Amino acid sequence: MRIYIDMDGVIANFDKAAKEGEWKHRPDLHVNYRNLEVINGAIESLAKLNADHEIFIASTPPWTRPEVWGHKKEWLEEHFPYLKRKLILTHRKDLLIGDILIDDSKYRGQPDFKGSWFWFNKDWDNRNWKACLEYVNNLNEKYEKV
């Protein structure tokens, strides 16, 4: 299957950096995206997904901070070097063509993605990486039976 994976809130811990900052509004305009921590479980989970599927990273950088586009590329190559050249920056995730979108937001076209959208949120017990891998495996078995 072809799987798209969001960055912030799914593999990169944007929320932690946002809470640590002293900004009152729009942390996305201040956070240092180059230094975000990796979210628990993401390293192992993406390695597993990459073994069996075609995976891409699909991320929406703040439009007014072009330096973040480069920071996202550098961050990805540091933590997930095998995903070099697999980064897609877009504000329109509904335009992606594939089987699964793993994303924690609904404001960039995720609900209109033509495949299956796994609404990831690390704060919900049933929507973490463990649940996500089960979801992908279940869908994969369904496809293989067809």
Options 20-28, 48-56, 61-69, 100-108: segment touching Mg ion (CB under 5 A): 100-108
- Structural contact between residues 93 and 113, judged by C-beta atoms closer than 8 angstroms: yes
CB of 6 to Mg ion, least distance (A): 4
Tell me the site size for Mg ion, rule CB under 5 A: 5
Among 1, 2, 9, 140, binds Mg ion (CB under 5 A): 9
CB of 120 to Mg ion, least distance (A): 8
Options 15-23, 28-36, 40-48, 99-107: segment touching Mg ion (CB under 5 A): 99-107
- Structural contact between residues 73 and 61, judged by C-beta atoms closer than 8 angstroms: no
For residue 27, state whether it binds Mg ion (rule: CB under 5 A). no
For residue 6, state whether it binds Mg ion (rule: CB under 5 A). yes
Give me the phi and psi of 5, to 5 degrees please. -125, 125
Cα separation, 60 vs 51, in Å, equals: 25
What DSSP string describes 77-120?
HHH-GGGTT-EEE-S-GGG--SSEEEES-SSSSGGG-SSEEEE-
For residue 115, state whether it binds Mg ion (rule: CB under 5 A). no
Among 5, 8, 33, 98, binds Mg ion (CB under 5 A): 8
Helix (H) or strand (E) holding 3: strand 2-5
CB of 143 to Mg ion, least distance (A): 26
Options 5-13, 70-78, 111-119, 123-131: segment touching Mg ion (CB under 5 A): 5-13
At 48, the amino acid letter reads K
For residue 104, state whether it binds Mg ion (rule: CB under 5 A). yes
Cα separation, 76 vs 85, in Å, equals: 10
Q: Which residues bind Mg ion (CB under 5 A)?
A: 6, 8-9, 104-105
